[in-house]
Amino acid sequence: MARRWRDEATQQAQDDIDALFAVAMDLVEKQLGSHRGFIPFALAVDHHGARSLRTAPAAAATRSAIIDALILDTDRGTHRALAIVLDVTVPPTDTDAAEFVVEHAEGTALQIVVPYTIDGNEGGQVHVERATTAEGQRRIWGLHL
C-alpha cells in the first residue's frame, strides 16, 4: 500500500485498515476461486474493534449506488473504519480487479485496486497482482455541516 498515508495515519488507523484489507482480500480470493466473481460487500470495524460484513442489495446496479447502499447512516457514530469491495474491470486493458474503497474515522481515505486473473473454470487458481493505492474520497467521516 502507498507509503504516504502511513506517514499521516495513527497506528490504530493503520492496524484497522490493514486488518480490513487482509480479511476482505481473503474473502475475495475465496469467492473468485469458487465462483469466478464476487458480489459487492463491505467490512466495518466498530469502536470496540469488532468486524461486521454487509452485502449490497441486488437493486444497486451502479458503482455509486452500490457504495451508497453499503454505507449506513449510523456508520459515522458506531464505526471507526469501513472497506467497500467491488468487482471491477479496469480500462483500457479490461483487466479484472477488486476495488477497495476504504475510509477511517481518523481521516484516511484510500482507493486500492488489486488486479487478478483466474486459471481455468470454477475452482481455478486465483492470481493477484500488486495493489495500486491512491487517495480516496471521504464519504462518511468527511465535513458535515
Give, for all 145 residues of the chain, the pLDDT tens digit: 455 888 889 999 999 999 999 999 999 999 998 888 899 999 999 999 999 999 988 888 899 999 999 999 999 999 999 999 999 999 888 999 999 999 999 999 999 999 999 987 666 799 999 999 999 999 999 755 4
Nearest to 19 by CA among 77, 96, 100, 76: 100
DSSP code for 113: E
- Phi–psi pair at 51, nearest 5 degrees: -100, 150
Sign of torsion, CA 53 57 61 62? Answer: negative
